Amino acid sequence: MSPMQRRQKAKGKTSKSGGGKKTSGPVVTKTSGSGGGGGGGGGAKTTLTSRPTGKSSTGGSTSRPRFKLPGSKKRGATPFTKGGGSIAKIPAGVAFAGRNIGGGTREQVYGTSRYGSGYPYDGYGSYVSGRGFPFGFWPVYWGGGYYGGDEYGPERNSSRPGGNLTTTRLQSTFWTNISDTLYSRDDTTPTLAIHAFNLVGDEESVRAVLDVLVTSGCSVANLTVVPLDLTNTSQPQPENAVQYYRSSSFALTLDGYINSASSRANMPSSNSTAVPNIPDTPIPTNSTDLAFLACINSTIGQALPILDSSAFPKFGNVPELQMGGLVGLLWMAVLVLRRYA
């Protein structure tokens, strides 16, 4: 019996939404960035207000409250909200004043494995500098001028919506740890190591998503959330990303995976320079728990906080999502394996 079959037997199938609607995964909106510069500047700190508990289609939930975002007036960010609403301008006196904010919907929350993907508007070139914030959040900061993202740094920035950048390790409770090496419990020898995943994003979002994953049918271990430290090479790096979400403001990375297409060496020299035609490095299927990846990827897309459409967020059945990109191809393989297993 596979790890996924065990999880389904123990906690029920994970393919139904709260209203009984099937979800097949994320929409991949592959766009390129918007050109131009754009200043940072000071901004208001994130503040919390009380909101209802959210719940995912896999049964997971979070008690993390809704939190207000700088520049969004009365609107805030909430797990499971549908998003949408009008696109506004960030007012004067707040970081990135004059840029667009809001309008992104839950159906548009998925990007690809490439930094700068997942923008429903304000897309030009490959750099993220000068862009708006469709979901209310800044892109992940990777440092070193990576695709124009330095204006959103550093990792610890009191103006960043949702708080400082953090990371946490994701591993399944169905894996066995032997001498700090992870193995599938089906591997009785054991012989083949399994690589763990990581979340990268603002602290409020990472904690909200982790809450849901731990209580969902994905069987995620509850591990520590720590500050992102780009000088620590044992922490996630941009080449490790397998999926970006919410206009590249949230990432899922895979330990041991190096996507040469996302390496700094292959980055274009400017926003107007063509991106090298380099294919994504395939995710290693022999050391990746594909069922676990499919489950956490789908749940992240449903639970990740995004900017509400108004001061009163709309909840309801999770919209049907469609998957694409590297993770989408692997999910199709999982479905085939399930059918013929």
pLDDT digits (tens, 9 = 90+) for 26-55: 322 233 333 333 333 333 322 222 223 344
Q: Is the pLDDT of residue 119 over 70?
A: yes
Q: Is the pLDDT of residue 329 over 70?
A: no
Give pLDDT, residue 323. Answer: 47
Between strands 88-89 and 100-101, the pairing is antiparallel
Question: What single-letter amino acid sits at 183?
Answer: Y
Give pLDDT, residue 53. Answer: 36
Q: Is the pLDDT of residue 175 over 80?
A: yes
Distance CA 300, CA 162 (A): 16
Q: Is the pLDDT of residue 226 over 90?
A: yes
Helices (H), the chain: 3-11, 203-215, 290-303, 325-340
Distance CA 78, CA 305 (A): 5
Burial class (CB in 10 A: 0-12, 13-18, 19+), 87: middle
Instruction: Provide the token pair at 232.
Output: 């620590």
Note whether 330 and 257 are within 8 A (CB): no
Predicted TM-score of the model (pTM): 0.77
Distance CA 175, CA 177 (A): 7
**Quick one: pLDDT band at residue 72, thresholds 50, 70, 90?**
low
Q: What is the arithmetic mean of pLDDT over 332-340? A: 39
Residues facing 88 on adjacent strands: 101
Give pLDDT, residue 59. Answer: 57
More confident residue, 66 or 176: 176
Distances (CA, A) of 115 to 35, 84, 118, 256, 263: 15, 22, 9, 18, 11
The dihedral built from the CA positions of residue 135, 157, 37 and 111, taken in this order, carries a sign that is negative
Q: Is the pLDDT of residue 130 over 90?
A: yes
Please give the DSSP secondary-structure letter assigned to residue 246: T
End-to-end CA distance of the chain: 10
User: How do residues 267-326 score in pLDDT, each as one tens digit?
Assistant: 999 999 998 999 999 999 989 999 999 999 999 999 999 999 875 444 444 444 444 556
Q: Is the pLDDT of residue 4 over 60?
A: no
Distance CA 214, CA 328 (A): 23
Distance CA 102, CA 71 (A): 10
Give pLDDT, residue 181. Answer: 84
Least confident of 38-47, 63-72, 168-177: 38-47
User: How do residues 230-270 score in pLDDT, each as one tens digit?
Assistant: 999 999 999 999 999 999 999 999 999 999 999 999 999 99
Give pLDDT, residue 221. Answer: 95
Between strands 76-78 and 67-68, the pairing is antiparallel
Q: Is the pLDDT of residue 202 over 60?
A: yes
Note whether 114 and 146 are within 8 A (CB): no
Least confident of 111-125, 176-190, 209-223, 276-290: 176-190
Distance CA 268, CA 270 (A): 6
| Rounded percentage of the chain residues whose pLDDT exceeds 90 | 58
Please give the distance of CA 140 from its chain centroid, rounded to a whole number. 10
Instruction: Provide the token pair at 245.
Output: 């979400």
Q: Is the pLDDT of residue 195 over 90?
A: yes
Residues facing 243 on adjacent strands: 252
Least confident of 75-79, 94-98, 227-231, 255-259: 75-79
